[in-house]
Each structure stands twice: as structure tokens, then as C-alpha cells.
Amino acid sequence: MTTLPAGWGDGTRSVRAGDAPPVPGTPLRPSPVFAAPFHLGDRPPRADGADAYARTEHPTFRAFEDAVGELDGGRCLAFSTGMAAVTAAVTALVSAGDRLVLPADGYYATRLLARDELERLGVRVEYVPTTGIGDVAARGDLDGARMVLLETPSNPHLDVCDVAAVARATRAAGALLAVDNTTATPLGQRPLALGADLTVGADTKALTGHSDLLLGHVSTTSGEVFDRLKGWRDHTGSTPGAFDAWLGHRSMSTLDLRLARQAETAAAVAEVLAGHPAVTGVRWPWLASDPSHELATRQMLRPVGVVSAELADEAAVSRFLAASRLWTAATSFGGVHSTVDRRAQWGGDAVPAGFLRFSCGIEDTDDVVADLTTALDAV
Ligand SMILES: *Cc1c(COP(=O)(O)O)cnc(C)c1O
């Protein structure tokens, strides 16, 4: 891999991150390699860095990891899903009896992991709201914690917390700071540059963005943390498939373009939602009136394509969906399709029945906004 010049913009970085030096006669982007064992020949395993077995080393994962690590500003390890990455970040570094601080209002599967698996293994888990973690850090209440995991912007409420401030507190407390950067992506926020020890991504979402694969990653600037995570992945086998890693790398090339359209649409969508009588509680951190506005615009590098808002109840959501052609009912977010998810139907988030997470796709902004207006008028 060659490191990119510091001055290159996000479009250039999206395409060129992780590229190998050009070799005449080879493709611009390597094809996926399908192999479980590799030839050993008459040499000992891994002689001169040769790949031996795909669970522990694989050229297609490395290409994806080089690209994502370049954007994150650290060394990256890919995992089979976002949850496999979150599990690795926490479980590889936290032991029985350790104190682990998690968001009370973040991605619900992370809370299920803690409740059903980590607590069972003797980890002392504490849940703190995303907007409250700054106060906990400022009070010095992180002393004795082994790890703090933040999710910012949080999912689905889009609350934001000050990563640099919490990083100073975790460092002082001797704890590790991990940030779930899924919603922002490495182009929207750089947790490692803000002082986090690890950044975690559910690359199933906007980073790959085509709603056709599951993938996750962890990046870190610490060699020690990297080695521990690599050991965890080797032992647990939570590696991605070669085809998914290749698709993920391919999809990343358009990240800058996709995020730009999603953000443009999100700005228009947030405005329409905020001005419509059928809607309450609009959240989008780039609305000047949003409680996260000041911090998000200071800490983040660009807006996200996710907006949340509330309709009156479940029946209002049904009328909205029946009247819409472009707002497809689906969970997940960050993909090329505009989608909307009634979060209460999953039972994991503390939200009212009519709470919706809108994920703006890359269709024409005018079409998506016109469809939104029509569907809201039908509510
Ligand atoms: C979706 C998501 C995950 C989990 O990703 P999967 O690929 O579905 O396992 C983790 N964190 C956040 C913030 C997410 O949105």
C-alpha cells in the first residue's frame, strides 16, 4: 500500500485509498481471491509473508483494510459484520470484573451483546446516555473503567458527544476509548484524530452503502491493541467473506459522492419535516435549532444522511408508507435507496410508536422531497 498525500480531498481519497503501486498488466483494482488454504509448496507456513490460511491472512481483506485504515488514520482489521467488529473491540480488550461504559441510547444490538453475553462473562457494564457521558467524564467518574464505548452521532436519536473531551478523561483514567463511527463514516468524523484508541464501523451501512452485504471493521493507532484484535479475530474466526470484502472495497470508491448527495437530500428532508404539521421532534444535527448543532459542526467533517422525526402513531406511519413511492420501509441506513424505519417495531429502542429514522439515498433530491411532501400530506 502507498500512503496518500496529505492534501488530497475526500473524493480522491475514496478512490485511491489502499491502492497498491501500479504493476503493468495487472487490474486497477485487484479481483477477489477465493481461497481457504493457499499453496505452501516446500516452505514453512507464512515464509516471507506468504498467505497460508484465509482465517488468519487473506489478500482481499488486506486490500479493503488498507483502504479503510487509510481513511480512518490507523491500522484496520475487517470483520464479518458490524456486530462482530463491536464484539471484537470490547471482548478482546475487556476482562471479567472490568468496568465497561456503554451508551444507554446507542445501537440496540450492542446493548443486547452486553446484557446477554458480557454480563454473563462477569464484565461490569454501565449504561450512560450519549449526552451525559461528557458530564461523567468531567466529574472524573471514569476512574477504574477499562473501556468507554461511545456512539456519536447516536443511533437512532442523533445525539452527539464531545469525543476529544471524553478522550482526555479516558486517558487520564487509564481507560481505553472506542467510538462506533458507523453513522458518520471515516469521511464524516475521525475519532482516532480526536484522541480515541479505537474506531469501529458497521460497514454494512454508509461506508459500503448498497444494501447488499454485511461487513465491519476496527481501526487503531496502537500496535498493542491491533495485535490483541488480530489475535481475537484469528481465534474466533469472525473474518469477512472474500467476496464481501471485495464488494466493500469497490463500493467505497463512491463514498464521497454518495455522502454528498445524501447530505444534500437530508438538509431538504429535515426542512420539510420541520415545517410539516403532521411531524414533531425532528432531529438532524445540521439544523441550526438542533441541540447537537454546535458540537456536530465543530467535531464532524460533513453532515450525515440520516434524519429522525415523529409522526402521531403507528397508523400515521402506515398512511405515510402507503402514500410514498420512494421512501421504502426497511431497517438499516446509509444505502443508495431512501428508506424509513419505524424503530418501535423492533422493540429495542425507547422510542414512541410513530418515531421514524429516515435514511436519505442518492436518488434526485427533488424527487425524494416531492415524494416526502405527498406522503406527509396523506398522513
Ligand atoms: C448496524 C449497526 C451496527 C451493527 O452492524 P451489523 O453489520 O448489522 O452487524 C453497529 N453499530 C451501529 C451504530 C449500527 O448502526
Kindly state whether residues 206 and 141 are assigned to the same domain. Answer: yes
Rounded to 5°, the CA angle 111-297-104 comes to 15
Residue 1 located in a structural domain = no
Q: Ligand 1: which of 204, 207, 210, 346 to mutate, most ligand atoms within 8 Å of CB?
A: 204
Provide the CATH number for the domain around residue 303. Answer: 3.90.1150.10
Tens digit of each residue's pLDDT (9 = 90 or more) over 164-186? 999 999 999 999 999 999 999 99
Kindly state whether residues 205 and 265 are assigned to the same domain. Answer: no
Kindly state whether residues 175 and 202 are assigned to the same domain. Answer: yes
Q: Check the CA dihedral 290-292-294-300 and report its sign.
A: negative
Assess whether the C-beta atom of 219 lies below 6 angstroms from ligand 1.
no
DSSP secondary structure code for residue 182 in this structure: T
C-alpha cell at 153: 452521532
Kindly state whether residues 263 and 367 are assigned to the same domain. Answer: yes
How many angstroms does the Cα of residue 204 sit away from the middle of ligand 1? 7
Kindly state whether residues 242 and 274 are assigned to the same domain. Answer: no
Residues 6+ positions from 120 with CB-CB distance below 8 Å: none
Q: Looking at the CA of residue 86, tell me the nearest atom of ligand 1.
A: 10
Kindly state whether residues 330 and 198 are assigned to the same domain. Answer: no
Cα–Cα dist 255/334, whole Å? 10
Kindly state whether residues 101 and 202 are assigned to the same domain. Answer: yes
Assess whether the C-beta atom of 151 lies below 6 angstroms from ligand 1.
yes
Domain boundary residue among 252, 275, 293?
252
Assess whether the C-beta atom of 83 lies below 6 angstroms from ligand 1.
yes
Tens digit of each residue's pLDDT (9 = 90 or more) over 332-343? 999 999 999 999
Tell me if residue 89 falls in helix, strand or coil: helix
Residue 359 located in a structural domain = yes
pLDDT classification of 2: cutoffs 50, 70, 90: low
281-294: string of b/e by CB count within 10 Å (b at 16+)?
bbbbbbbeebebee
Assess whether the C-beta atom of 130 lies below 6 angstroms from ligand 1.
no
pLDDT classification of 253: cutoffs 50, 70, 90: very high
Q: Ligand 1: which of 80, 81, 87, 107 to mutate, most ligand atoms within 8 Å of CB?
A: 107
- Number of domains within the chain: 2
Predicted model pTM: 0.97
CA neighbours closer than 13 Å in the CB half-sphere of residue 262: 33
Cell 484508541 found at? 197
* Domain that includes residue 52, residue range: 10-252
Looking at residue 50, its pLDDT comes to: 96
Rounded to 5°, the CA angle 215-216-219 comes to 145
Kindly state whether residues 64 and 185 are assigned to the same domain. Answer: yes
Is there a contact between 215 and 208 (Cβ–Cβ < 8 Å)? yes
